[in-house]
Amino acid sequence: MSNLFPPTRTAALEKLSTFVPKAARDYAAQRNYDFGPGQHAAVSTLSPYLRHRLITEAEVLEAVLGRYSLSSAEKFVQEVFWRTYWKGWLEMRPAVWGGYQQGLSRAWDQVQTQSGLRAEWEAACRGETGIECLDHWARELVDTGYLHNHARMWFASIWIFTLRLPWELGADFFLRHLYDGDPASNTLSWRWVAGMQTEDKNYVATASNISKYTDGRFMPLHQLASNPAPLDGPPHPPRMDAPLGDRLDPSKPSVLLLHEDDLSPGWLIDLGLQPLETATLDATSQISPLHVAPQVTAFKSALMADCTARWSASLGRVTDGLRSAQEIEDWARAAGAEQIVTPYAPAGPAATILNDIRALPLVRPLRNFDRRAWPHATAGFFKFKKKIPELVGAMKGLQAV
C-alpha cells in the first residue's frame, strides 16, 4: 500500500492540519501545478479520506474557515463543494451511472474481440504509449493510488482525443486504481473532459499548458490531438428530486451497516442509535468488471477497520466484509434486528447492493450537509457555487453533521 496515504483518521487529521495554513492564497496560486509523485504539497491530498468520509467535508471546511474567511479561502472551499455538486447532480440523474456501466460493458466486449484495441488499451494502462507524460501518469496512478487533478484532466483528454480509446475504459482504469475512486466525481469528470457533461465543451490538453503546470517536466510537442470535437452522447436524463433520506427511529432494535461512502458514524450515534451489532459492507470489487488493484482493496478495508476500532464502544459486536443483500439480511435477522440502519449511500456499488435488501426495513438517513446542498445541483457548477455562502452558513454550529 502506498505510504503516501496511511489508512487512518489520524493520518487524515495530520494532513489537514499541515494543509490548513496553505488553504488560502498559496492554494489559489499553486493548486494547478503538478510537481510530481510525492510532491503534491500545494494541494491537500485529502481526497482518499474525504471520498470515504473518514474525515467529512464539514470538518475540513470548519478547519479551513476557522482560520480564513470564506473570501480568502474561496478557491479551496469551492473545490470541496465540487465533490458535493457532482454527487448531487448524479443523485438526481442516477441513470447516468447506469449508462456508464452499460458503455463500459460494451467497450470491454470490444477489447476482448478486437486485438488492436486490446493492445492499445493495455499499452495505455501500462504506461507504454510513447507519450511520456501519459505513460508517467499511468505509472504514478498504479504505484501511488493518486493523481493530481490537473494530471487527471490531461490524462483523460489524451486518452479520449489523442489515443481515441473509449472514455469508459479510462474511467474504469481510474476507478480500479484510485484510492479516492468515486462514481460521481470520476464518471462526471470524464464526461466533462469528453464534452458530454457541458454541451459542446470538451477539455483539450495542450503541450504548452502541460509544460507550464508540470514545471517543465513534460513537453509533448506535436504529440497531442489539436482541436478535437467533443464526443456525442445522449441528452441528460430528466432530473429527479434529490433524496431527503429516512427518519431514524432509534427506539427500534437496530443493526448498523457501515459502507465505503460514510465511515464517520458519530452523527448516527448522536441521533440516538444504539446498534445491537454492526457490520461493514465490502462493495469494492463491484466498482468494475475487472480486478480492482489489491492496494485499493487493502486501503478500503483498512479504513473500515480504523473506523470500527475507533467507534468500538458504540457499535456492539462487529462483523467484517459482508458482500451481498442476502448476507446482510441473514446477519441482521440473526442479530434480532427489526431494522437495518445505514448512512445514505449515493449512486454506486454500495447503493446497488443495498437496493436489493427486502427482508427487513432499510433506514437510510441523509446527512444535513447533503440534504441542503444536493437539490442545488440542478444545472452547472457556476449556478451551484452561488449557494456556497448559504450552505456554509447553515453548516456552522451543526458540528460536522
Ligand X SMILES: Cc1cc2nc3c(=O)[nH]c(=O)nc-3n(C[C@H](O)[C@H](O)[C@H](O)COP(=O)(O)OP(=O)(O)OC[C@H]3O[C@@H](n4cnc5c(N)ncnc54)[C@H](O)[C@@H]3O)c2cc1C
Which residues contact ligand X by CB under 6 A?
31, 43-47, 50-51, 79-80, 82-83, 86, 149, 152-153, 156, 174, 178, 180-182, 185-186, 189-190, 193
CB of 312 to ligand X, least distance (A): 27
* C-beta closer to ligand X: residue 121 or 190: 190
d(CA 49, CA 30): 22
Spell out the alpha helix ranges (H) of 66-162.
74-91, 95-113, 115-126, 132-144, 149-157
CB of 288 to ligand X, least distance (A): 12
Query: Which of 358, 339, 159, 351 minimizes the C-alpha distance to 262?
Result: 351
* C-beta closer to ligand X: residue 43 or 366: 43
d(CA 77, CA 69): 10
CB of 356 to ligand X, least distance (A): 24
CB of 363 to ligand X, least distance (A): 27
* C-beta closer to ligand X: residue 136 or 275: 136
* C-beta closer to ligand X: residue 39 or 312: 39
Q: Check the CA dihedral 203-99-346-53 and report its sign.
A: negative
Angle, vertex CA 254, rays to CA 251 and CA 258, nearest 5: 130
Look-up of cell digits 488553504: 23
Spell out the alpha helix ranges (H) of 229-356.
266-270, 294-310, 312-315, 325-334, 349-354
* C-beta closer to ligand X: residue 33 or 331: 33
CB of 195 to ligand X, least distance (A): 13
Look-up of cell digits 466486449: 109
Query: Which of 1, 4, 23 minimizes the C-alpha distance to 12?
Result: 4
CB of 254 to ligand X, least distance (A): 30
* C-beta closer to ligand X: residue 185 or 342: 185
